[in-house]
């Protein structure tokens, strides 16, 4: 089932994917996929997605019920994964531009493609679950972006349940939302879970910086002295692994300065009393 965009987003898109006749072959699917890459390079992302969808339909028809053909099944699942990831990329881009109807349509379609009974990804359950986890996490990010914090946490938790793996990125997102909701103890727990998942030498060390930063923010109201220690840890790590000019480093510095100013103000007020 092709993704259905709101009418006000369809204007001027053109007809990149004409109706299929049912006689298309794998060669036709390959031509569509090549044309899709050309359209993407031209910045015509929706038209590119439409062609990728058409190519996937042709591949599914050609595969049919012959799932014993390992190479053909693998190629069809690869095509499905490309469509799912394209929906996610465009969905994230859309919600960051506050085009929530478009983003929801794209992410809903990605969820449909990764459903338990959805062909062809049902034939590769590990891949299906991984892609569904990515989509649910991005859905959570969208809900956070539009202020639906409780719903955002639910999507992110479902993301980890789906994959059966604990994700440091999901824990970081959840901790940030819990801090916004003033669920400080829960936020501390989530940030600590992220740190445990990352370990001392993560592949992306900037995530460890963010984890200590999020932990510091969560601790501000319940343990200020420890919050200061965690801000110091985050800033030290930031200088060591991502540099002083990084936007992440600047965010850590800014929040640490704000925290110290607030703490000093409280100390002065207490002294006057």
Query: Do the domain assignments include residue 273?
Result: no
Do 185 and 231 fall within a single domain? yes
Do 256 and 210 fall within a single domain? yes
Do 123 and 188 fall within a single domain? no
Query: Do the domain assignments include residue 60?
Result: yes
State the chain's mean pLDDT as an integer: 90
pLDDT digits (tens, 9 = 90+) for 171-191: 999 999 999 999 999 999 999
CATH code for the domain in which residue 191 is found? 1.25.40.10
Query: Is the separation of the CB atoms in 115 and 164 below 8 Å?
Result: no
Do 85 and 220 fall within a single domain? no
Model's pTM, two decimal places?
A: 0.82
Query: Do the domain assignments include residue 193?
Result: yes
3-state secondary structure (DSSP) of residue 205: helix
Do 51 and 121 fall within a single domain? yes
Q: Give the mean pLDDT of 236-246.
A: 96
Do 132 and 175 fall within a single domain? no
Do 50 and 76 fall within a single domain? yes
End position of a domain, from candidates 122, 152, 182 = 152
Query: Do the domain assignments include residue 158?
Result: no
Q: What percent of the chain has pLDDT over 90?
A: 81
Do 122 and 181 fall within a single domain? no
Which pLDDT value is given to residue 33? 97
Q: Give the mean pLDDT of 251-269.
A: 85
Token pair 């600047």 in the structure block, residue = 250
Do 94 and 213 fall within a single domain? no
Query: Do the domain assignments include residue 161?
Result: no
Distances (CA, A) of 59 to 23, 78, 127, 163, 218: 12, 10, 18, 26, 49
Do 6 and 139 fall within a single domain? yes
> DSSP label at 20?
P
- pLDDT-based confidence at residue 22 (cuts at 50, 70, 90): confident
End position of a domain, from candidates 111, 130, 152 = 152
pLDDT digits (tens, 9 = 90+) for 132-163: 999 999 999 999 999 999 999 999 999 999 98
Token pair 């300065």 in the structure block, residue = 257
Query: Do the domain assignments include residue 157?
Result: no
Query: Do the domain assignments include residue 210?
Result: yes
CATH code for the domain in which residue 31 is found? 1.25.40
pLDDT(11) > 70:
no
Please tell me the total count of domains within the chain. Answer: 2
The residue range of the domain holding 177 is: 166-268
Do 137 and 197 fall within a single domain? no
Q: At what angle do helices 168-180 and 184-198 cross, to 10 degrees?
A: 160
End position of a domain, from candidates 152, 180, 210 = 152
Do 116 and 2 fall within a single domain? yes
Query: Do the domain assignments include residue 77?
Result: yes
Q: What percent of the chain has pLDDT over 70?
A: 89
| 255 preceded by a cis bond (ω within 30 of 0) | no
């Amino acid at each position: 089932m092709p993704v259905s965009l709101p009418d006000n987003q369809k204007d001027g898109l053109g007809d990149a994917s004409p109706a299929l006749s049912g006689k298309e072959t794998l060669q036709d699917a390959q031509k569509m996929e090549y044309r899709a890459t050309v359209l993407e390079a031209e910045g015509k992302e929706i038209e590119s997605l439409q062609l990728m969808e058409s190519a996937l339909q042709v591949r599914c028809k050609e595969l049919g019920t012959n799932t014993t053909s390992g190479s053909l099944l693998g190629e069809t699942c690869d095509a499905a994964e490309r469509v799912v990831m394209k929906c996610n990329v465009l969905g994230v881009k859309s919600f960051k531009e506050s085009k929530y109807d478009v983003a929801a349509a794209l992410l809903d379609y990605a969820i449909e493609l990764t459903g338990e009974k959805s062909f062809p990804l049902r034939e590769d359950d590990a891949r299906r679950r991984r892609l569904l986890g990515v989509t649910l996490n991005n859905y959570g990010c969208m809900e956070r972006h539009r202020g639906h914090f409780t719903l955002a946490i639910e999507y992110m938790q479902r993301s980890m349940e789906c994959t059966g793996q604990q994700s440091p990125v999901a824990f970081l997102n959840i901790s940030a939302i819990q801090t916004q909701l003033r669920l400080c103890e829960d936020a501390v727990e989530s940030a600590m879970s992220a740190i445990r998942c990352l370990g001392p030498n993560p592949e992306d060390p900037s995530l460890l910086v963010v984890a200590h930063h999020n932990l510091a923010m969560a601790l501000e109201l319940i343990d200020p002295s420890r919050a200061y220690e965690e801000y110091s840890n985050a800033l030290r790590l930031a200088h060591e692994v991502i540099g002083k000019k990084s936007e992440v480093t600047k965010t850590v510095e800014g929040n640490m300065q704000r925290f110290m100013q607030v703490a000093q103000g409280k100390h002065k007020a207490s002294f006057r009393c």
